[in-house]
Chains A and B, each alone.
Chain A
Amino acid sequence: AQTVTQSQPEMSVQEAETVTLSCTYDTSESDYYLFWYKQPPSRQMILVIRQEAYKQQNATENRFSVNFQKAAKSFSLKISDSQLGDAAMYFCALMDSNYQLIWGAGTKLIIKP
């Protein structure tokens, strides 16, 4: 069975600092896709970043970047220059061979002003 694990229920960071959210996964597939979604109090689930497993280069979207370690099955999210608007639940997700999302439990990110 495919699983996604987020071991940090909650993280906090000072505004303007950098924070890294951890995610590990397990799959027997060789080709798959990984995602980080953000869910602020407004409730909408927003796609932050996407990584294709066959690409070795880590995905980057502005202040958001990932550290993708395929052999270790690790997919961490780094947020640079944290802003108050980054406060949210962050979910890591794996897309399986049926194109369904397998979700992690989520990490609540708190930004301290």
Chain B
Amino acid sequence: DTEVTQTPKHLVMGMTNKKSLKCEQHMGHRAMYWYKQKAKKPPELMFVYSYEKLSINESVPSRFSPECPNSSLLNLHLHALQPEDSALYLCASSQGQGVTYGYTFGSGTRLTVV
């Protein structure tokens, strides 16, 4: 299995809703990442987990809450989002945070906040 699987593919939520994005990989990768990508822009790093511990939080608002329950799974919990949070949310993994082979990305979740 050489994939990063993200669910759901599309999500529409109201500003008072709570939802979660899920990311899964079975490549034995020990670093996992959440990125936010606006249309026609490069991805922006949000969080990095290394060996299931949060190692980087790029000053992301607390309405985004990451969770890494095990080495294969990464969640992003969403609460009280704003319309400007509408974007493509990409998950990625790599063999380790210090490994330079590049990342494997999922296909993303297209989030719309109404």
The answer, yes or no, to whether A101 is at the interface (CB within 8 Å) is yes
Report the minimal beta-carbon distance from B21 to chain A, rounded to whole angstroms: 14
Q: In the bound complex, do residue A106 and residue B105 qualify as a contact, i.e. CB atoms below 8 Å apart? A: no
Given known pairs A99-B97, A100-B45, the reply for A47 and B102 (CB within 8 Å) is yes
Contact with A along B92-109 (1 / 0, CB 8 A): 100001111111111110
Q: In the bound complex, do residue A44 and residue B106 qualify as a contact, i.e. CB atoms below 8 Å apart? A: yes
Q: In the bound complex, do residue A44 and residue B107 qualify as a contact, i.e. CB atoms below 8 Å apart? A: yes
Q: Which residue of A lies closest to B101 (CB)?
A: A50
Q: In the bound complex, do residue B105 and residue A33 qualify as a contact, i.e. CB atoms below 8 Å apart? A: no
Q: Which residue of B lies closest to A49 (CB)?
A: B102
Contact partner of A46 (CB less than 8 A), chosen from B43, B98, B105, B110, is B105
Number of interface residues of B (CB under 8 A): 23
**Which residues of the partner chain B approach A108 to less than 8 Å between Cβ atoms?**
40
**Which residues of the partner chain A approach B90 to less than 8 Å between Cβ atoms?**
43, 45
**Which residues of the partner chain A approach B88 to less than 8 Å between Cβ atoms?**
43
CB proximity to B under 8 Å, residues A92-113 = 93, 95, 99-101, 103-106, 108
User: With contacts A33-B102, A45-B105 known, what are 9 further pairs, Cβ within 8 A?
Assistant: A43-B107, A43-B110, A45-B103, A50-B101, A50-B102, A91-B42, A103-B43, A105-B41, A106-B41
